[in-house]
Amino acid sequence: MLPRWDQGDAVRVIRNVRNDGTYPGVNTGDLLVRRGRIGHVRNVGTFLQDQIIYSVHFLDEGRLIGCREEELIGIDEPWVDSRFEVRQKVRAARALAIRGEVRVPPGSRGEILNIERSAPLRVLYHVHFDCLPGNPLQVPEAALIEWTADDG
């Protein structure tokens, strides 16, 4: 198990980092660092002898955060920001069809299960819609709108 980055390397966090209860002075669950932010590795260690943990200093936030290797990418690796978060509630901006049959009417409520950034300059979301139980769909960002508490 060799670390991918060394002390001083610039890295980008690819997931929002929230306090799991180990960061002092911040409520558990509060956002510590937003995905896409750049930090510098200050230390490399292990957790339970099978996970590499990087202490990353995010200068703009003034925070030193422990990050797992899968939460980071190199500064030169491609990155496309996304509008929505995993577990965020959304609505279909338009009708969504499977093989020509509309399965998700406009305005249907869904929840983001995963974010895929593999396509260059394009984000796809894996979304579970209430009207299509058990069948998550891959949906482009343009086909989704924010869900608000007023939406019910």
pLDDT of 6-16, one tens digit each?
Answer: 899 999 998 88
For domain 89-151, give the CATH number. Answer: 2.30.30
89-151 has the same fold as 10-74 = yes
| pLDDT computed for residue 151 by the predictor | 63
Rounded to an integer, the average pLDDT of 107-121 is: 83
Other beta carbons within 10 angstroms of residue 11's beta carbon come to 23
Task: State the pLDDT confidence band at 1, using cuts at 50, 70 and 90.
Answer: confident
Residue 100 token pair: 């020509």
Would you say 71 and 54 are in contact if contact means Cβ atoms under 8 Å apart? no
CATH of domain 10-74: 2.30.30
**What percentage of residues in the chain have a pLDDT greater than 90?**
51
Q: What does the pLDDT look like over 119-148, one tens digit per residue?
A: 666 789 999 999 999 999 999 999 999 988
Under 8 Å between Cβ of 28 and 2: no
Query: For residue range 37-80, what is the model confidence (pLDDT) as tens digits?
Result: 999 999 998 788 788 999 999 998 899 999 989 889 999 988 88
Task: Break the chain into its structural domains and give their ranges.
Answer: 10-74, 89-151
Answer yes or no: are the C-beta atoms of 111 and 90 closer than 8 Å: yes
